[in-house]
Amino acid sequence: MAEEGEGNNHDGVIEDPKISNSADYPPASSAVGSIPCFSISIWPPTQRTRDAVVKRLIDNLSTSSILSKRYGNLTHEQSSIVARLVEQEAFDVASASSSTAASAEMRETNKESIEEGIEILQIYSKEISRRMLESVKATASSASAAVTAKNFTAGPIDSGHSTPQS
């Protein structure tokens, strides 16, 4: 059992006698002032993030999902083209929104900048969702129109009944 000595306090914590008392350290409030400020940027997303969005869109468009059950799947090649267009158009709309907001009033604090970035990111996300749904609907309706046109040009469907000839 440890004896009450120079290195032990009454809470059972062993103190290092080489460490001088807390009077030698600056108070916590003055240490905070010496920490360098940093800022984070919500908008624009990095290229890596944009590439991940495109990859996820390709997966959503070309694999079985709620969308594919209703509107059908796209091939991987079609999905890749549509995903890149959807992401780029959504990015352009959100960027235009960003520059409009930035030119309207310069943000003074990091908090306001983050809030603006979040708003722009929401615009980006909504544009991606809206454009992806529009693309899937357009593809489904053009495929449906092609099937209808094919059936129409093929002539009437034979019912299997023959008409008596006189």
Domain 47-140 has CATH 1.10.246.200: yes
165 pLDDT higher than 50: yes
SS3 4: coil
Phi then psi dihedrals of residue 8, to 5 deg: -115, 140
Report the distance separating Cα 86 and Cα 78, nearest Å.
Answer: 12
The helix (H) or strand (E) run that includes residue 29 is helix 28-33
Q: What is the pLDDT of residue 159?
A: 47
pLDDT tens digits for range 120-133:
999 999 999 999 99
23 pLDDT higher than 70: no
pLDDT tens digits for range 91-130:
999 999 887 655 545 545 667 888 899 999 999 999 999 9
Domain range summary for the chain, segments of one domain joined by +: 47-140
144 pLDDT higher than 80: no
Please report the DSSP string for 30-60 in residue order. Answer: HHHHTSPP-----SSPPHHHHHHHHHHHHHH
Closest CA to 94 of 164, 20, 159, 42: 42
**Residue 28: how many other CB atoms lie within 10 Å:** 7
Q: Which amino acid is at 45?
A: P
Q: What is the pLDDT of residue 154?
A: 53
Predicted structure pTM score:
0.61
Q: What is the pLDDT of residue 141?
A: 77
Q: What is the pLDDT of residue 150?
A: 56
The helix (H) or strand (E) run that includes residue 96 is helix 76-104
